[in-house]
A and B are shown apart, each in its own frame.
Chain A
Amino acid sequence: MGIIAVSDCLTALRDRAQCALIPFITAGDPDLQTTAAALEVLDQNGADLIELGVPYSDPLADGPVIQAAATRALQRGTRLDQVLEMVQDVTPRLRSPLILFTYYNPILNRGISTFLKQIKDAGVAGLVVPDLPLEEAESLLQPAAAIGIEVILLVAPTSPTERIQQIVQQSQGFIYLVSVTGVTGMRSQIQTRVRDLLLELRELTDKSIGVGFGIAHPDQAKQVMEWGADAVIVGSAFVKRLAEGHPNQGLQTIAQFSRSLKAAITDA
């Protein structure tokens, strides 16, 4: 079975008037075996796509929960090759396209074309690089497009309209709308300006729009869906649940949580 493109997956869902759920977990926390199991559990419990974070020593865009998960994963000795081996093993069994979330330095260190080829071979469909804004993304966008990896660019609440226009034009897969001025992490409320940003984006593009950073509860996911998002991305809330207690317990908890999120954005 070939890899389903991120954009195709989202378009198909939109055609059925469905909002996608994209859970995020950190690879190697608590260990890669659990990560592999978690990918399957999420796939079977409401996830439409899954974002997998590659642990990095200096995660500038991440709040305390994902920072801590990355630190733990690195302390266990998690390496990129092992992550990709695990991904290669698991992706044939997944229905959901897999999006890799990684900072730029590990890509640069490996060499852009080598990195892209390796993740493509492992079955990855999309790529998010949080410290690579549009101005620096050119070196990645072309080779990624050539090999068939969709690079998803981010739009922030602070982005002016002219920038947004350029970003939506270049972004592949979908437009990742950052819902807060800040780093990743659970927030108690989603700012109402996300609604305005969604309206603004909708005027500018037909591409799918995913909203992430800060969404932690089913009712927030529902809110964002009602404001017009095509996809809801939930990270820290999954990472935190998976890290609590015994891995088996964590897996059960995220299965339940994933189902509750999907239910919240599915009701008609």
Chain B
Amino acid sequence: MTTTPLPRLQTTLEAAPQRPDALGRFGRFGGKYVPETLMPALAELETAFHAYKNEPGFQQELQGLMRDYVGRPSPLYFAERLTTHYGRGDRPSPQIYLKREDLNHTGAHKINNALAQVLLAQRMGKRRIIAETGAGQHGVATATVCARFGLDCIIYMGVHDMERQSLNVFRMRLMGAEVRPVSAGTGTLKDATSEAIRDWVTNVETTHYILGSVAGPHPYPMIVRDFQAVIGQETRAQCLEKWGGLPDILLACVGGGSNAMGLFHEFIDEPTVRLIGVEAAGEGVDTEKHAATLTRGRVGVLHGAMSYLLQDAEGQVIEPYSISAGLDYPGVGPEHSFLKDWERAEYYGITDAAALEGFQRLSRLEGIIPALETAHAIAYLDTLCPQLDGSPRIVINCSGRGDKDVQTVTQLLNLG
């Protein structure tokens, strides 16, 4: 676990440029570093997104399904016993809330984006859907919406991830998706993403690629962010309803970074709201086994975007490591790189061991089994809470439920 320097206070955010700009850039990050074959498809997708995003028919269908099929809005839950755990007796102490994305249909925030993108794909006349998946949550969400709309669905998944997330592989197949194993590299999310992009290059005229994170070439980081922004929008309304104000601190785990962007986006222009992203430090950021891209990476290009990247001295991409399949990615969404350089958001690492503690703590204190990804954000409370004065209100994005991880964790914990 890294030590936390005091954050620099943000006082002037007026200078914030439009993000992304016309070339898909967040400052120097983002862009479209893809084979020429895909450029027209990216342009087509961007046009469709702008055409439908605010179109009443699209919004009506999306809102209806978000309510009746996904189960939105997701609750903002006051975690009373977790708050007590970090309490200081009679003195003021942090108040901890969970944004319950784990209660969505399919058990994570991923469905927000998958559902919206499938509605876009339908309007673009694409009937074949592909996606990459790491933890399997995005794959499950994509398989789910494809089943709902009767579309062909192919999910690329690393062989190593298929093993550690076998429950999700079964769920995808049950809903009629074809899960294609990817054995290149370490058989994880990076390799699955590369293979999905190759499929898209080959079948681009009939196929829509539902990218699952705020990563990849423009317009994906923008589209996925905007389709996940519902998390932050609901959070704002719920905070207003519960205490009549803003949250003080937002906390979310970051792999590619979609659940964090979904929560942060609404609050970026609110200088009093502190934004904290938690990366996977694996066996420690000073070892070779981690996935802490923003903490340890250098600027590079992967999967179509310029962003921080785990790479060696030659510019070859390093295979990352994390106990959590969803955070096991050597890149990160370009907007997170921008927020880091701009010092608007802070990013820290949490090790496998600490995440496992967070996993158990939330299970025991709140009766909520979080995803291993989410457990990284929970675990950061151990570092954060002792540094805080007064009683700030912390909202953690409880991005997914942990049923899928029980098999992995069973092998690591002896609960007697």
Contacts and interface: CB of A to CB of B under 8 A. Distances in A.
Contacts of A56: 316
Nearest to B299: A108
Interface string A104-146: 1111111000000000000000000011111110000000000
A155 B33 contact: no
Contact of B41 (A71, A158, A178): A158
Contact of A178 (B32, B37, B298): B37
Interface in A61-109: 61, 63, 67, 71, 74, 79-80, 104-109
B314 A131 contact: no
Interface stretch (B72-80, B158-166, B269-277, B301-309): B301-309
A60 B34 contact: yes
Contacts of B368: none
A22 B202 CA distance: 23
Given A131-B35, A136-B32, A158-B40, A80 B303 contact: no
A57 interface: yes
* Size class of the contact patch on chain B: 35 or more
A183 interface: yes
B409 interface: no
B151 interface: no
Contacts of A61: 35, 201
A108 B301 contact: yes
B189 interface: no
Contacts of A154: 35-36
A109 B314 contact: yes
A183 B317 contact: no
Interface stretch (B47-55, B190-198, B337-345, B351-359): B190-198
A244 interface: no
Nearest to B31: A136
A36 interface: no
A159 interface: yes
Contact of B34 (A71, A106, A131, A182): A131
Contacts of A2: none
A58 interface: yes
A136 B313 CA distance: 23
Contacts of A110: 315
Contact of B194 (A58, A74, A80, A136): A58
A106 B306 CA distance: 13
A57 B202 contact: no
A157 B201 CA distance: 11
A63 B37 CA distance: 14
B23 interface: yes
Main SS at interface, chain B: mixed
A163 interface: yes
A106 B311 CA distance: 10
Contacts of B185: 57
Nearest to A155: B36
B37 A182 contact: yes
Interface string B363-374: 000000000000
A106 B36 contact: no
Contact of A133 (B32, B184, B302, B314): B32
A173 to B, nearest CB: 16
B382 interface: no
A85 to B, nearest CB: 14
Q: Which of A63, A71, A182 has most chain B Cβ within 10 Å?
A: A182
Contacts of B205: 158, 181
Contacts of A159: 36-37, 39-40
Interface residues of A, number: 39
B40 A106 contact: no
A156 interface: yes
A245 interface: no
B315 A130 contact: no
B32 A108 contact: no
B176 interface: no
A160 B39 CA distance: 10
Contacts of A136: 31-33
Nearest to A102: B315
Contact of A181 (B37, B304, B309): B37
A135 B197 contact: no
Contacts of A71: 184
A58 B315 contact: no
B300 interface: yes
A109 to B, nearest CB: 3
B204 interface: yes
Given A163-B40, A181-B205, A79 B314 contact: yes
A58 B190 contact: yes
B223 to A, nearest CB: 18
Contacts of B34: 60, 131, 133
Contact of B201 (A58, A108, A181): A181
B300 A183 contact: no
Contacts of A181: 37, 201-205
Interface of B: 23, 31-41, 184-185, 190, 194, 197-198, 201-205, 298-304, 306, 309, 311, 313-317
5 tightest Cβ-Cβ pairs between the two chains A and B? A109-B315, A182-B202, A156-B37, A106-B315, A57-B316
Given A63-B198, A156-B36, A181-B205, 20 more contacts: A58-B190, A58-B194, A58-B302, A60-B197, A79-B314, A104-B33, A105-B300, A108-B301, A108-B315, A131-B34, A131-B35, A131-B304, A133-B35, A135-B31, A135-B39, A158-B36, A159-B36, A181-B37, A181-B203, A182-B37
Interface of A: 56-58, 60-61, 63, 67, 71, 74, 79-80, 104-110, 130-136, 153-160, 163, 167, 178, 181-183
24 contacts: A58-B190, A60-B194, A60-B303, A67-B184, A80-B314, A105-B302, A106-B316, A109-B314, A131-B34, A131-B304, A134-B39, A135-B23, A154-B35, A154-B36, A156-B35, A158-B40, A158-B41, A158-B204, A160-B40, A163-B39, A181-B37, A181-B201, A181-B203, A183-B201
